[in-house]
Amino acid sequence: RPVEWYLRPMGWEERNAAYTEVAMALFTEAAGRALEQAGLKASEIDTVVTVSSTGVATPSIDARVADAMGFRSDVERAPVFGLGCAGGVTGLSLASRLAQSRPGSAVLVVAVELCSLSFRLDKLTKENIVATALFADGAAACVLRSGEGGLARVEMSGQHTWPDTLDIMGWSVDATGLGVIFDRAIPPFAEANVAPAIAA
End-to-end CA, the chain: 44
Catalytic residues: 85
Burial class (CB within 10 angstroms; exposed 0-12, middle 13-18, buried 19+) of 58: exposed
Q: How far is CA 112 from the centre of its chain?
A: 5
Return the SS3 of 164.
coil
At CA 14, angle to CA 21 and CA 28, rounded to 5? 10
- DSSP code, position 188: H
Residue 180's alpha-carbon distances to 19, 88, 130, 153, in angstroms, are 16, 18, 10, 33
The answer to whether the beta carbons of residues 144 and 95 sit under 8 Å apart is yes
